Amino acid sequence: MILPGFRDAAPVDGLIGGGLIGLAAAVMLLGLGRIAGVSGIAAKAAGLGGSGMGRATAFAFIIGLPLGAFLVTLASGGLEQSFAGPVPLIIAGVIVGVGTRLGSGCTSGHGVCGMSRLSARSIVATLVFMATGIATVALMNATGWEALS
Amino acid sequence: MTIRPLIALLAGTLFGAGLTVGGMTDPARVRGFLDLFGDWDPTLAFVMGGALVVMAIAWRFVPGMARPIFEDGFHVPTSSDLTPKLIGGAALFGIGWGIAGLCPGPGFAALAIEPLSAAIFVVAMFAGMGLVRLTER
């Protein structure tokens, strides 16, 4: 399906993907009583604080992420996606690591789990990281810094 | 060994599949969503909307449950204070998200799509988390 005015948009894929993410977060909440916040779970899996769940549980969740991506790649016959070069990846990775620990969450924990229960902290955090993300992309475009190859 | 890691593996797999189907593992799509003042791609709003609807329903079950199905109790955040640390951290995270078009979940999921790029991002992210861990000790 094509969204009028946005030639690259994939709204149906987006809704299906979002539904699966919501289902995954619901399994974590109703099954294990935990927030499916990837940054916190990753920190726990790596022994860097984070989520209060068991370390094996955290590790299993993180392993599932590429496994799920692999299954979709297999079913769709390969994906064409371009990633940033090593230098922007390192800069971005460090900033994301520091920011998500200080800010107690990322797109999943705050954006999906927290916002859906109307947590004030999560709503504010999501608005803030959306705003700085938008500003960063605008600034990079204005200065001609092409991060993606 | 309990059943908990298996439940988490199932959830992680669903999560990774959803990220991939929704386009969140594609840095160009993520940056297209953040490119509000340029060639805006609204796809991620649909991802967010789909996930929020399902989770909003899931939260409604919690008050009526004595405990989660496979755990002794619910362990969800209870703090509600808006601290400079929360806001500063979120601001930093957004900058990193904008630079490479990757956040933590898609970073791990992309290990199955472009392993080298994703591994560089994930290792750097753990380094950043480690930095915070060091300063908090």
Domain extents for chain B? 4-135
Nearest CA-CA distance, residue A149 and chain B, Å: 10
pLDDT at position A6: 81
* Per-residue pLDDT band at B1 (split at 50, 70, 90): low
pLDDT in tens, A7-18: 788 999 999 999
Within 10 angstroms of residue B80's Cβ, the number of other Cβ atoms is 8
pLDDT at position A2: 66
Q: How far apart are alpha carbons B53 and B75 in whole angstroms?
A: 21
Q: How far apart are alpha carbons A14 and B42 in whole angstroms?
A: 9
pLDDT in tens, B53-97: 999 999 999 999 999 999 999 999 988 899 999 999 999 999 999
Would you call A136 an interface residue with chain B, using a CB distance cutoff of 8 Å?
Answer: yes
Q: What is the ipTM of this complex?
A: 0.96
Testing the interface with B: which of A94, A108, A149 to mutate, by most B Cβ within 10 A? A94
DSSP 8-class letter at A144: T
Q: How far apart are alpha carbons A52 and A58 in whole angstroms?
A: 9
Would you call B99 an interface residue with chain A, using a CB distance cutoff of 8 Å?
Answer: yes
Q: How far apart are alpha carbons A136 and A6 in whole angstroms?
A: 22
What is the 3-state composition of chain B as percent helix, strand, coil, each rounded to the nearest 5?
A: 70, 0, 30
pLDDT in tens, A69-97: 999 999 988 788 999 999 999 999 999 99
Choice between A51 and A7, residue whose per-residue pLDDT is larger: A51
Residues paired with residue A6 on neighbouring β-strands, in sequence order: A3
Closest CA to B121 of A85, A64, A33, A107: A85
From A25, A31, A148, residue closest to B28, measured CB to CB: A148
What residues of chain B lie within 8 A of the CB of A89, using their CB?
A: 100, 102, 117, 120-121, 124
Quick check: A17 and B18 CB within 8 A?
Answer: yes
What's the CA angle centered on A99, arms A97 and A104, to 5 degrees? 100
